[in-house]
Chains A and B, each alone.
Chain A
């Protein structure tokens, strides 16, 4: 069986005002406090396109390698729903603002970071559209409350990998592609793209067919609110369809909802009948005309026009470029660059540490990815909330780099730092007496004492078993409570044993 996965993605765009009205946009505002007459669809109100929103859409389109339509049109999509006050949504079904894009994403094989492949998914179109309001169903009182704060906000709708181009074939791929899109939107600043908060909504179209045959009937899976669930939902749906077909059943062209608790998809009851959206052109909005440097009319008010070239020049570095730059500049591994970008703020953290320390970036990355990140993960913290600032970590790594402490001691200091008591690494080192023994004579004495106490081991080493040397090094470390430089200890021991 060949599975085919397509995605329809709705992203809420961060702009200060809504797509077609002057209402503010703000999170966690009191219900229905950010609603203009237009948003509530009062009779006689008309949509007025917000230039900032158009710019955000153009930026996203350029970032996703789309060709930008210099002339795009608006359509009305009709359906009755309580949180859609006008009874239709203004969208761009026929001639959207951007088409034919692509998105490259990387994916690790068998969950091994070292085995990454880069794949490309095609993007059919990006369209400007109005968001609907939010319905809150109160089942106990059998009522629905509607919050129109969201109504009329700019949404970007992008259609990935339509059934004609089978670019994705499993949940993992779908999740990786969406993750990359999230990063791009966040980099552009055009969306927070947090799935759990509904800023990014993903519907998956899934079908399976035998190689060489026509595509199978597809189902649409909705109600997916995290990347993990996206992967799960897609894989479940593929498996379900295969089993259904192998048992002689048929697949219905239906909308299914993902149940995250049960980990399966179930048919959605309220969308049973196939909807006819009765699309028609939006008569109150003239075609949206975009300009480039060449076509920009000289006498036009620049506040009134959107110049694609101007936006292109100001595009920030995209994640793929950022990653390449990290690898090049710091000599880190490509997979490390992925991890750096995947965590919001981690790249900045890393770069700050590198700036403030003499330690090589290659070594710094280990501390960031292994120690810092795993601590944050354990405590479910984001980078911004880290109790250890980049400044403190750099301080610590400097002590290590100057060989004032051992790496074992450094880990101990770090453990202290997590407590966030405001002490500097240096203070902790002093307090806990973790500094390396700088006095060579003292160290030599300790080494000698270890050699004297371990006759059997010394014999073994002299017989050629060098591995045993590590045991002696360990004993010296224990003796010095980690305050000895293992390289130095090794040299001393070897010297003494060869005497």
Chain B
């Protein structure tokens, strides 16, 4: 049994994991290393985030316990995260770091712990939030000129819920402008760099042992659009981060950055305060280091919100994930359409090994068909751009955000404001969306796309109706591309390619999760996706947790050159709020 698991993970990988465990450096040693001023800091979870953050145990069982027992204080934890954010600044994961408020929140949390009255598992836990969630008093930019400097007067419901449970908000993470993209390369604050670009794993495999210029051109993208959040979790600068997922924006960067990325069922988590991309598909996403953590965060966020009429009315009960020992009653569906053009042979192999893993553990593994999934991309294009055209109409320079100096007429001010405020990707989507919504096109495009969406959703209903519990698919077509490679194609082409495996779940509103599965030949993370039934997050996460346990995804061995980030400072004007 064990053998099979290891086999599938590939031997080298397992070997490295074992070696890593042996060589775990104690916090003290790390400190010495730091004090000696070594050019390289090795940021493994243990060294980077002190002794308590051994990855797998996660929030509930380790960090929270350590806080309770006083092994570490919330302020220490917060400070360590903040200093790590500084030393990994070149990743460009954060747009705004709210150092002052974060420390204040940590102090409050510390008082609660001292009184012995912490608010729960999340009390004192440093988190990061994608910069398209409103945060009162902290800039919310959507990585766009349109909202640069915009400070919202209110907190998104999910942000408020996290704060209410004592979480410490470190800052706002980078993204594609208004979450439109799949690389986290198209924001006004510059692209996010995948922490794995600076991992020993990647360097050993891919980077020719030569000068640092090569290294500079070889860094890989995070995927997107929640790339900042994925990078933040992956580089240990926070314990959990919020992303948003409209066509795969949480799962895609999670796969590329080797973290867990959960897109819950549409309607389970409030969208109030999430600056929308496509209202009918947007879901706040959760990025964590392990499945258990995702369940913790989900539990703190889910449930009805009177401010969002599309949230479920029923009460949501937070759950702890059981340790599954028997998967023989499970039926895992392998949708054949996900064997999509462009799927790398590596990922295909990983996928089939994963299927074998389930089969060998006694689960029923069946091939299923979702025949309409192949129309998903074109259908999504119409629905997404139409809603974008509508949602972006409010950015006219009058009430908030950027306003052009043009004052010849209101109309010319609108036009100039929107030209200056939005990048080409956003403007392009607005243009096509308005085209699809024109009276003469509405029937032919929008209505048709809605019908196709229904067909896509019905495919899932049928498959789940046939007795399948969970679908297993790849999350991405390949591992992360180097930035220089990625930008050879335009945003639209990339989004269409990259969303192909993730989008259908948004169309159908289903919960889906990326579980980091293994490393590619280039030493980069690769993940697989589980798609579950509507509102069956517990089942989905339980299976994901079982799988996570089997594959033993390796920890990132981040090697951060000190002072490395100096060269990138120009990318952001206001790093600290």
Residue B228 at the chain A interface, CB threshold 8 Å: no
Instruction: Please give, as numbers and ranges, the residues of chain A lying within 8 Å of B469 by CB-CB distance.
Output: none
CA distance in complex: A40, B153 (Å)? 12
Residue B375 at the chain A interface, CB threshold 8 Å: no
Check if A44 sits within 8 Å of B156, measured CB to CB.
yes
Closest residue of chain B to A278, judged by CB? B437
Residue B389 at the chain A interface, CB threshold 8 Å: yes
Asked whether A283 and B279 contact (CB < 8 A) given A43-B147, A76-B390, A80-B414, the answer is: yes
Instruction: Please give, as numbers and ranges, the residues of chain A lying within 8 Å of B34 by CB-CB distance.
Output: none
CA distance in complex: A42, B395 (Å)? 9
CA distance in complex: A280, B385 (Å)? 12
Stretch at the interface among A81-89, A123-131, A444-452: A81-89
Residue A315 at the chain B interface, CB threshold 8 Å: no
Residue A285 at the chain B interface, CB threshold 8 Å: yes
Instruction: Please give, as numbers and ranges, the residues of chain B lying within 8 Å of A285 by CB-CB distance.
Output: 309-310
Residue A46 at the chain B interface, CB threshold 8 Å: yes
- How far apart are A188's CB and chain B's nearest CB, in angstroms? 26
Instruction: Please give, as numbers and ranges, the residues of chain B lying within 8 Å of A283 by CB-CB distance.
Output: 278-280, 310, 387
Beta-carbon contacts of B435-477 to A below 8 Å, as 1s and 0s?
A: 0011100100010000000000000000000000000000000
Q: Count residues on chain B whose CB falls below 8 Å from chain A CBs.
A: 45
Residue B317 at the chain A interface, CB threshold 8 Å: no
Residue B15 at the chain A interface, CB threshold 8 Å: no
Residue B62 at the chain A interface, CB threshold 8 Å: no
Beta-carbon contacts of B369-400 to A below 8 Å, as 1s and 0s?
A: 00000000000000000110110111110111
Closest residue of chain B to A87, judged by CB? B393
Stretch at the interface among B165-173, B213-221, B266-274: B266-274
Other-chain contact of B309, A49, A144, A278, A280 (Cβ < 8 Å): A49
Residue B576 at the chain A interface, CB threshold 8 Å: no
Beta-carbon contacts of A284-326 to B below 8 Å, as 1s and 0s?
A: 1110000000000000000000000000000000000000000
Asked whether A284 and B310 contact (CB < 8 A) given A80-B414, A82-B410, the answer is: yes
Instruction: Please give, as numbers and ranges, the residues of chain A lying within 8 Å of B360 by CB-CB distance.
Output: none
- How far apart are B391's CB and chain A's nearest CB, in angstroms? 9
Closest residue of chain A to B411, judged by CB? A80
Closest residue of chain A to B274, judged by CB? A44
CA distance in complex: A286, B437 (Å)? 20
Asked whether A45 and B438 contact (CB < 8 A) given A37-B154, A278-B389, A283-B279, the answer is: no
Check if A280 sits within 8 Å of B386, measured CB to CB.
yes
Asked whether A44 and B152 contact (CB < 8 A) given A85-B398, A279-B437, the answer is: yes
Check if A46 sits within 8 Å of B398, measured CB to CB.
no
Check if B399 sits within 8 Å of A144, measured CB to CB.
no
Check if A85 sits within 8 Å of B438, measured CB to CB.
no
Interface residues of A in 101-160 (CB under 8 A from B): 144, 146
Check if B153 sits within 8 Å of A42, measured CB to CB.
yes
Check if A46 sits within 8 Å of B442, measured CB to CB.
no
B153, B275, B394, most chain A CB atoms within 10 A: B394
Check if B279 sits within 8 Å of A86, measured CB to CB.
no
CA distance in complex: A146, B530 (Å)? 50
Asked whether A278 and B394 contact (CB < 8 A) given A46-B307, A48-B306, A80-B411, the answer is: no
CA distance in complex: A284, B266 (Å)? 12
Asked whether A86 and B438 contact (CB < 8 A) given A37-B154, A42-B400, A44-B276, the answer is: no
Check if B272 sits within 8 Å of A46, measured CB to CB.
yes
CA distance in complex: A403, B387 (Å)? 78
Chain B positions near chain A (C-beta within 8 angstroms):
133-134, 140, 142, 147, 150, 152-154, 156, 271-276, 278-280, 306-310, 386-387, 389-390, 392-396, 398-400, 410-411, 414, 434, 437-439, 442, 446
6 cross-chain pairs, A with B, having the tightest CB-CB distances, nearest first: A87-B393, A278-B437, A283-B279, A283-B280, A43-B275, A44-B273
What would be 8 A-B contacts, judged by CB atoms less than 8 Å apart? A44-B273, A80-B393, A87-B396, A88-B390, A88-B393, A278-B390, A279-B437, A279-B442
Please give 6 more A-B residue pairs, beta carbons under 8 A apart, in addition to A78-B393, A278-B434, A283-B280.
A43-B152, A44-B133, A80-B396, A279-B442, A280-B442, A283-B278
